[in-house]
């Protein structure tokens, strides 16, 4: 089955000499100081207003970063790698569309074969042509590393056939529709490995590792894997890519890139310098943007209401299709030994969700998070609000929960043998009904839920533990409810096997096969029930593109409730349009792709443009 699984002021002689750095000023909280120097940084230095300066959210020191996507320590594969390297295609999870970058075209010649032609216009920054072998090497290495010692292949690719320098034939290990085949091969977008083509097939180091990974076994293979996954090769100053910009200078807290004039899109890009600014505190994304230190921030907007009056008049948002859900994660109890989850029953989970009064959360959201205005269904909040997908029609009659419907909650609990005595709920064994909730302190929805449950007569054991303890208890299934945050970046992305099967099942311990009442939308099951295997259903949906599978999956989620969507938070980026704007870039890229700022510079249609 396929696995689909996010500085000192420069001068002419030395950009990093003298003066108090922006990091120092930010750390000191000197907002007035920031405003005072904003005119000479963030795209304004040396009178060069066309320098685009971008907030770097990673935080690792630039001098320590490298372009090895398999070594996750101090990696630069995303920032600045996504700007220095290109990829064959880009998939937008928001709309489930794919757009070409290096690939000229692609075609499914049968249900398990994807063919793609690669442009001959791309060259590495040393002038060597980019060829199909470069892309094939990277993915053969990825598969070899992942499948060592019986690991799962993270892709649906069974074999990559390099027909010639500019033609690839990709053989899949299962049937897929074209868009899902593209999403998981040439348009792969998950993690560092999908940010670009990092391996040059005739580079001595990459070719040596590649040969060893494909032809070694046992201890020798493990030794090679250790080398690949721990070596910082190449560092960002020495690495060459094929993207629109190349690294020219690395400072303590900046990376300066200059336009690669031989890039196929170079003539469309009307500015010459792209700068990354690395803050002392990656979480502080408001003041650097407000005070002109950066032209744009990749995520973390909108911002609290009390800070919005600071935003410039030319403030705009992008990535508006990307959101994060805040959920109750229930321990469904399947396969858990040594702990009897109080919410093991679906009816108990439904009762808890009915008791919750989400309207009580509204007054404490501070203008950042929003109420999830729909039934549990794993469809993004903005999609439900806009009605922009057929699924928003069929979920209209799904049970919604979150309404403090204590009458329905009582009915469901009594069906499971629970009784109420003097206002307190008792289990079928006659014990006090108590639910354990881990780490609710910083989660608005859980704080409200706790009060709702207590008012309803259910006891709550609320524990706040450190991250290591939380993780250990999650893995062993020793909890009833924990908070969960999950990206919600598109209708299809919400159901990727890597997310639902590989992660959420291990998080919630849901039953891999479930009986759902039929027809869809009727919780009373007037037509009986249907047994579905969740992984198989997702697989069939991605093979056939048949919405019936999606409909039944949303209904399974609503009736089984592994998790309950309480709130969602937009994960938009911010762009100050005083000097730069997206010009004719397709909306699925601008609002649906996490590194939209980099991708906009690589496409034949549209670009990020300097306005003045």
- What is residue 276's predicted lDDT score, i.e. its pLDDT? 97
Tokens (6 digits) for 422: 């003097």
What are 64-98's pLDDT values in tens digits?
999 999 999 999 999 999 999 999 999 998 888 99
Residue environment code for 279-300, b if the CB has 16+ CB neighbours within 10 A, otherwise e: beeeeebbbbbbbbbbbbbbbb
Interval 448-457: pLDDT, tens? 999 999 999 9
List of E strands, 56-127: 89-92, 97-100, 103-110, 113-118
Burial degree of 210 (CB within 10 A; 0-12, 13-18, 19+): buried
**Residue 556: exposed, middle, or buried by beta-carbon count in 10 A (0-12, 13-18, 19+)?**
buried
- For residue 456, what is the enclosing H or E element? helix 444-456
Q: What is the DSSP string of 245-276?
A: EEEEEE-SSEEEEEE-TTSTTGGG----EEEE
Residue 611 to residue 311: CA distance in whole angstroms: 20
Predicted local confidence at residue 141, as pLDDT: 98
Sign of CA dihedral 231, 236, 237, 243: positive
**Cα(first)–Cα(last) distance of the chain, in Å?**
50
53 and 273 Cβ atoms separated by less than 8 Å: no
In this structure, what DSSP letter does residue 501 have?
Answer: I
Alpha helices in 320-440 (DSSP H): 346-355, 381-386, 391-394, 406-415
Residues of the chain with pLDDT under 50: 1-47
pLDDT at 48: 54
DSSP symbol at 171: E
Q: Is 412 strand, coil or helix?
A: helix
**Phi and psi at residue 145, to the nearest 5°:** -65, -45
Calpha distance 406→416 (Å, rounded): 15
Judged on CB neighbours under 10 Å (0-12, 13-18, 19+), 406 is middle
Task: List, as one string, the DSSP characters of 33-49.
Answer: HHHHHGGGSSS-GGG-T
Using the CB atoms, write b or e for 462-485: b if 16+ within 10 Å.
Answer: beeeeeeebeebbeebbbbbbbbe
Residue with the two structure tokens 């969602």: 568
- The number of angstroms, rounded, from the C-alpha of 540 to the middle of its chain's C-alpha atoms is 23
> Edge to edge, what strands does the sheet with 434-438 contain?
370-371, 563-570, 323-330, 481-487, 434-438, 459-463
The three-class DSSP label of residue 471 is: helix
Residue 96's pLDDT is what? Answer: 87
Burial class (CB in 10 A: 0-12, 13-18, 19+), 540: middle
Distance CA 520, CA 547 (A): 13
Predicted pLDDT at 281: 82
Q: How far apart are CA 35 and CA 160, in angstroms?
A: 53
| pLDDT at res. 17 | 30
Which has the closest alpha carbon to 238: 289, 190, 200, 279? 200
For residues 2 and 422, what is the distance between their CA atoms, to the nearest angstrom? 53
Entry pTM? 0.82
Give the Cα separation of 52 and 33 in Å (integer): 22
Looking at residue 68, its pLDDT comes to 98
Give the pLDDT of residue 487: 86
CB contact at 8 A, 474 and 481: no
pLDDT of residue 19: 32
**Helix extents (H) in 195-316:** 204-215, 218-230, 287-290
């Amino acid at each position: 089955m396929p696995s689909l699984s996010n500085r000192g002021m420069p001068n002419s002689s030395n950009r990093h000499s003298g003066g108090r750095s922006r990091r120092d000023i930010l750390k000191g909280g000197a907002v007035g100081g920031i405003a005072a120097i904003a005119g000479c940084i963030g795209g304004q230095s040396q009178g060069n207003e066309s320098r685009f300066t971008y907030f770097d959210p990673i935080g690792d020191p630039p001098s320590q970063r490298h372009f090895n996507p398999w070594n996750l320590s101090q990696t630069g594969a995303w920032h600045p790698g996504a700007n220095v390297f290109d990829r064959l295609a880009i998939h937008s999870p928001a709309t489930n569309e794919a757009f070409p970058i290096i690939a000229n075209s692609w075609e499914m010649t049968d249900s398990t074969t994807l063919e793609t032609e690669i442009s001959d216009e791309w060259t590495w920054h040393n002038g060597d042509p980019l060829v199909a072998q470069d892309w094939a090497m990277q993915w053969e290495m990825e598969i070899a590393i992942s499948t060592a010692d019986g690991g799962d292949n993270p892709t649906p690719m069974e074999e990559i056939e390099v027909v010639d320098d500019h033609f690839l034939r990709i053989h899949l290990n299962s049937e897929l529709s074209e868009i899902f085949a593209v999403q998981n091969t040439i348009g792969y977008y998950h993690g560092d490995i999908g940010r670009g083509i990092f391996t040059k097939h005739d580079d001595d180091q990459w070719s040596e590792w590649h040969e060893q990974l494909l032809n070694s076994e046992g201890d020798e293979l493990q030794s090679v894997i250790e080398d690949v996954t721990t070596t910082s090769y190449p560092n960002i100053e020495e690495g060459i890519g094929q993207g629109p910009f190349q690294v020219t200078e690395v400072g303590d807290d900046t990376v300066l890139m200059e336009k690669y004039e031989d890039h196929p899109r170079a003539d469309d890009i009307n500015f010459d310098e792209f700068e990354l600014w690395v803050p002392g505190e990656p979480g502080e994304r408001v003041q650097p943007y407000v005070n002109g230190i950066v032209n744009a921030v990749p995520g973390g907007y909108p911002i609290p209401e009390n800070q919005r009056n600071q935003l410039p008049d030319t403030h705009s948002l992008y990535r508006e299709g990307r959101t994060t859900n805040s959920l109750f994660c229930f321990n469904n109890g399947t396969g858990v030994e040594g702990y009897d989850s109080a919410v093991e029953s679906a009816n108990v989970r439904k009762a808890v969700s009915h008791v919750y009064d989400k309207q009580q959360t509204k007054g404490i959201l501070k203008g950042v998070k929003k109420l999830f205005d729909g039934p549990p269904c794993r469809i993004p909040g903005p999609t439900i609000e806009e009605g922009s997908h057929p699924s928003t029609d069929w979920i209209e009659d799904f049970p919604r929960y979150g309404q403090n419907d204590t009458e329905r909650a009582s009915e469901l609990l009594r069906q499971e043998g629970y009784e109420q005595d003097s206002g307190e709920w008792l289990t079928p064994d006659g014990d006090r009904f108590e639910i354990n909730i881990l780490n609710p302190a910083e989660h608005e929805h859980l704080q409200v839920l706790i009060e709702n449950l207590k008012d309803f007569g259910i006891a709550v054991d609320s524990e706040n533990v450190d991250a290591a303890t939380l993780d250990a208890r999650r893995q062993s299934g020793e909890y009833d409810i924990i908070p969960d945050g999950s990206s919600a970046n598109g209708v299809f992305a919400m159901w990727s096997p890597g997310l639902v099967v590989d992660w959420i099942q291990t998080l919630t311990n849901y039953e891999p096969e479930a009986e759902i009442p039929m027809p869809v939308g009727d919780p009373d099951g007037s037509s009986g029930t249907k047994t579905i295997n969740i992984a198989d259903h997702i697989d069939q949906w991605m093979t056939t593109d048949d919405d019936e599978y999606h409909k039944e999956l949303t209904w399974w989620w609503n009736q089984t409730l592994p998790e309950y969507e309480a709130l969602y938070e937009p994960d938009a980026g911010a762009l100050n349009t005083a000097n730069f704007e997206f010009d004719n870039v397709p909306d699925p890229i601008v609002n649906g792709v996490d590194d939209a700022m980099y991708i906009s510079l690589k496409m034949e249609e549209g670009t990020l443009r300097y306005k003045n």
